[in-house]
């Protein structure tokens, strides 16, 4: 099996929201879909396939598996064994609505070696399409870790890549190699064209632009709020975020806010 997309299910209706997203990503990446059930007892393959035929008729090609044990541990082990390209799962179950992420999703996010797509369970099982991919960029090389997968996915899926830069003139990026934040965010005609040109040049150095359609947005204010605003106004289908692996405040404040409020799936790429 060639780097499949892994979809963990726990038997709940909420978890099924990950399936339409995973199916489209598997089609775009031209890879297989592996559905994993983790519970207190092992479910025969025939039973899993029968359930999926009723609950997710949109699926046409997939493999299934069942594990017994701690959900996060088994998910991570299967992802390692299969060299999964990405894990697609719900952010939390119905009993964990007050949490940004459920316990299993949190553990998988912290320890997964591959990107993880977190799906809001409230979107349900309705069809999902990839027309707009949004990636925030603060000008730092670390944030660029999300650019290549975002550009590649948008290119393969014939989607538009939306890049949003939330400028902070009071506290610009200090990381070596960062793009300088435009000083006159209220008059973008002064420096924004030069910033955009330099950004596109750097993007072209890390991935093949080809026929990729790129649109850029400049904003200023609260980072998470501006990212979510652009996401909603542009009908974004997927937000892709670079993450350095630190969840504690204040380092992951933007990530937590986006995961808590985003109405579309979010892909997290470890840098």
Tens-place pLDDT, residues 124-157 = 989 999 999 999 887 666 666 788 889 889 999 9
pLDDT given for residue 78 in this prediction: 97
Pairing relationship of beta strands 238-243 and 132-136 according to DSSP bridges: parallel
Q: Would you say 45 and 67 are in contact if contact means Cβ atoms under 8 Å apart?
A: no
Task: Tell me the per-residue pLDDT of 213-225, one tens digit each, with 9 for 90 and over.
Answer: 888 888 878 889 9
DSSP letters along 224-266, please?
HHHHHHHHHHTT-SEEEEEE-S--STTTTHHHHHHHHH-SS-E
**Confidence band, pLDDT 50/70/90 cuts, at residue 211:** confident
- pLDDT at 187 exceeding the cut of 60: no
pLDDT given for residue 184 in this prediction: 47
- Which one, of 239, 204, 246, lies nearest residue 223 by Cα? 239
Q: Would you say 47 and 53 are in contact if contact means Cβ atoms under 8 Å apart?
A: no
- pLDDT at 177 exceeding the cut of 60: no
Q: Please list, in sequence order, all residues whose beta carbon lies within 8 angstroms of the beta carbon of residue 233, skipping any fewer than 6 positions away.
A: none
Task: Tell me the per-residue pLDDT of 20-69, one tens digit each, with 9 for 90 and over.
Answer: 999 999 999 999 999 999 988 888 999 999 988 888 888 888 999 999 99
Is residue 54 helix, strand or coil? helix
DSSP letters along 163-204, please?
EEEEE-SSS---STTPPPPPS-TTSTTTTHHHHHHHHHHHHH
Is residue 217 helix, strand or coil? strand
Class of domain 5-123: alpha beta
Mean pLDDT of the chain: 84
* Fold held by 132-270: Rossmann fold (3.40.50)
pLDDT given for residue 159 in this prediction: 96
Strand order in the sheet with 160-167: 63-68, 33-39, 5-9, 86-90, 116-119, 266-270, 238-243, 132-136, 160-167, 213-220
- pLDDT at 176 exceeding the cut of 50: no
Domain boundaries, the chain: 5-123, 132-270
């Amino acid at each position: 099996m060639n780097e499949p997309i892994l979809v963990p299910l726990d038997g709940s209706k909420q978890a099924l929201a990950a399936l339409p997203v995973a199916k489209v990503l598997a089609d775009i990446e031209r890879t297989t879909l592996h559905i994993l059930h983790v519970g207190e007892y092992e479910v025969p393959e025939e039973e899993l396939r029968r359930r999926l035929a009723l609950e997710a008729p949109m699926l046409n090609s997939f493999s299934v598996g069942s594990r017994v044990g701690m959900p996060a541990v088994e998910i991570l082990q299967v992802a390692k064994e299969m060299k999964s390209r990405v894990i697609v799962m719900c952010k939390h179950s119905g009993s964990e609505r007050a949490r940004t992420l459920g316990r299993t999703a949190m553990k998988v996010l912290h320890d997964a070696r591959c990107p993880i797509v977190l799906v809001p369970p409230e979107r349900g099982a309705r069809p999902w399409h990839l027309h707009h991919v949004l990636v925030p960029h603060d000008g730092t090389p670390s944030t660029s870790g999300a650019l290549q997968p975002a550009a590649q996915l948008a290119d393969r899926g014939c989607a538009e890549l939306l890049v949003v830069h939330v400028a902070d003139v009071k506290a610009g990026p200090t990381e070596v190699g960062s793009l300088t934040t435009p000083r006159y965010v209220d008059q973008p005609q002064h420096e924004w064209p030069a910033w955009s040109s330099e950004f596109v040049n750097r993007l072209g150095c890390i991935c093949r632009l080809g026929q990729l359609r790129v649109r850029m947005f400049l904003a200023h204010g609260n980072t998470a709020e501006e990212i979510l605003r652009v996401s909603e106004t542009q009908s974004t289908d997927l937000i892709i975020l670079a993450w350095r692996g630190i969840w504690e405040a204040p380092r992951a404040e933007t990530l937590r806010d986006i995961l808590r409020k985003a109405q579309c799936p979010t892909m997290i790429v470890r840098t």
